[in-house]
Every structure is written in C-alpha cells, then in structure tokens.
Chains A and B, each alone.
Chain A
Amino acid sequence: MRKKTFAAAALLAAATLALSACGSQDATSQSPVSAVSQDSGRLGPATVLDQPWDKPGLVLTDTHGKKYDLRKETQGHPTLLYFGYTHCPDICPTTMSNIAVAAQKSLTPAQRDDLRVVFVTTDPGRDTPAALGSWLKGIDPRFIGLTGDFKTVQAAARSVGISVEATKKDKNGKLVSVHGTQVIAFSPKTGGGYVLMSDSATVDDYIKDLPKLVRGAKP
C-alpha cells in the first residue's frame, strides 16, 4: 500500500516537475536542497536607457509644506527619483539608505551638495509633509520628500515607466501601499532620465555607480 503510493508519487513527480531533483527512495540519499522563492531573471543593478525619459513636470509639497517644482528645483543637478512610502519595511528604506551611505562613501562634499535625491510618496494619505520629513531625516536630511495628490504622483510615475497603485485595505483591513521597483537617475547635463537602478541594487552597486551618475556618465 505504502510502496504503491510512493511509486505513484514518484511518477507524478517525474511527469510534472521537470526541474525537481528527486533522489532515490533510499532514506540515506541526500537530495539537493531547493529554493522556494524564485527570482526570475532580474535586471542587473543599472540599466542605461536608449531613449531617456523626460523629467516629470511634477509640482508637489515638500517636507517643509512648501511647493516644490521638480523640474525647476533640480535643473542642472544630478537627480535620483524614487516612488515609495514610509510604512514600507523592506525596499523603500533599504533603497534610500543605500543611496545615502553610498553618497557618503563615494562622493565629494561638493558632489553630495549637488545631488538631488527625491522621494515621492505613493501613500500621501499617511505620508504628510511632517511624517515624510521625520522619516527621511532618519536616513539623510539632504533628501527631498514630496507629497500631494495621488493621481498626480501616479501620472508622473507612469510617465517614467513606473507603475504604482493607490493605497488600499487588504482583507484584514490593513492599509497596503505600493512602491516603485526602480530608481531613475537624471543627467545633470541633459535633464533626461537615462539610467534605471533596480531595487536589487546594493550599497556596493551605488558606491560604484554614483560617481558616474553625478557626472551624467554611463555606469
């Protein structure tokens, strides 16, 4: 009875799991341990775009409650743009911390002053100017935080190929927001968004690439 079950299971496994490495039925055999979470062909940390994005004509409110015109304020400056939210445990703080630490390690003080890192919230309901300000202060007080109408944020994100959705309630009634999966680097020379940094970029990737990005060079 048991043996039959195992034989059937083995057949089923062989038929359906082309990639599975099933060992023999021998209890002493060591089947290779297999990963559960899949990672389907992620981009490298930096992707240079053939056709740069225009910088979004975004006018929102900064962390001091003042109007901030993205194009005007960042003109002539190397600019990194990211869409995220502060109630985000993983990627948003990691991405911002990677940039902050890499800027500290790989740029001169003049380059750091020149660089504009702009964090646009995808969760304006919770990310008030004050909330955004205190969160960014914990990462790098130079970083700029913008909040405002979600539709405006979403349209700006879409214009640079970033898809985000409005904050909604999950089945437990908890608010769930969505962050962008890339940081867009805009050249200080052309103003074009010419490099995408993926959300798997590490601090070492940013240490390597930031000195080039602040000059508008290709990483």
Chain B
Amino acid sequence: MNRRPLVLATALAGALALAGCSGSGSSKAELSVSGSYMPQPVSADMAAGFLTITNKGGTKDELTSVSSPAGQVTMHSTMGGEMREQSSFAIPAHGRLVFRSGGNHLMFEQLRHRPKQGQTVTLKLTFAKSGPLTVEMPVKSATYHPTTGN
C-alpha cells in the first residue's frame, strides 16, 4: 500500500556520500535539464553529449534511457580513462545527475550526419517515474568547455 518507506530506505542507502535528502516527503520528483551540449565531433562515428538533470522534488528518480533520431545513444560512466556502459543513473531527491567531460557522458554512435557547430541534436530522456523530457542539445565547438565558454 504505502511504498514510501521502501523508497526512502533505498534512496538513503544509495545516496551514501551523495547527499540525497528526502526532507519534504510528499513532493514528487521534479526534473529539469540544463547545460546540455555536444562538442562538435571528429566524425559521424562517435560523439559525446553532456547535460545536468536537476531534481527539485522530494523523491528520487532514475534516468533509464536516452534516445535520439540522430543515431544510437548509450550512457556511460568513466573511471580512470575507462568508460563503462550503464543501464540507468540515479537522480537523488533535491539533487542532480551530472554528465560532464571526464565523467559521466552520453555516447552517440552511427550518427546519420556529422553534427556541426551551431546545429542541435534532439534527445528524448526517459525516467523510471517522471514523464519523458525532450532536449534540444546544441552542438558547440570541439574544444567547448562550459566554465570558460570556449
């Protein structure tokens, strides 16, 4: 009947050191996407994408898939130069899931065209609980870095 205790318990267990809080209790996951970009890739074979998903709600959620009409998309984590494909990423309550260069990233393969700076790539993000989100990801320069803007 009441699924909340289990949700809370798993949220806390999974959030060790990640600061997941379930303070407000009654509010659902409230997701928004910011800072998305794709550095212009070398070829259509392989590209990366980055974005941040912010959860303002009091319930955790999970990113379960990313798709795009532009090509195949998979989700990866990176540890010490080695990337690992993941089937989902947790989004803590009142927390963020960050994909950024050197860390978690979206990997695009077999793109129909090589994305060029100034274009956008459409993404559909699917979550365990929340409804899907559509993102228009801008293609930036190959050396673009969000903190410097170059």
Contacts and interface: CB of A to CB of B under 8 A. Distances in A.
Given A27-B24, A181-B81, A203-B150, A19 B19 contact: yes
Contacts of A178: 80-82
Contact of A88 (B5, B12, B23, B46): B46
A89 B105 contact: yes
20 contacts: A6-B25, A9-B22, A17-B20, A32-B94, A34-B20, A34-B96, A36-B90, A89-B47, A89-B83, A89-B105, A90-B48, A93-B39, A93-B42, A97-B42, A170-B84, A178-B81, A202-B145, A203-B143, A203-B148, A204-B145
A38 B102 CA distance: 11
Which applies to chain A's interface (DSSP): helix, strand, loop or mixed? loop
Contacts of A66: none
A170 B84 CA distance: 8
Contacts of B16: 16-17
Contacts of A110: none
B143 A98 contact: yes
Nearest to B20: A20
A93 B42 CA distance: 7
A94 interface: yes
A40 to B, nearest CB: 11
Contacts of B90: 36
Interface in B68-90: 76, 78, 80-85, 90
A37 B75 CA distance: 14
Which applies to chain B's interface (DSSP): helix, strand, loop or mixed? loop
A101 B21 contact: no
Given A93-B42, A202-B148, A37 B58 contact: no
Interface string A68-101: 0000000000000000001111110110011001
A26 B91 CA distance: 21
B12 A12 contact: yes
Contacts of B12: 9, 12-13, 16-17
A52 B8 CA distance: 52
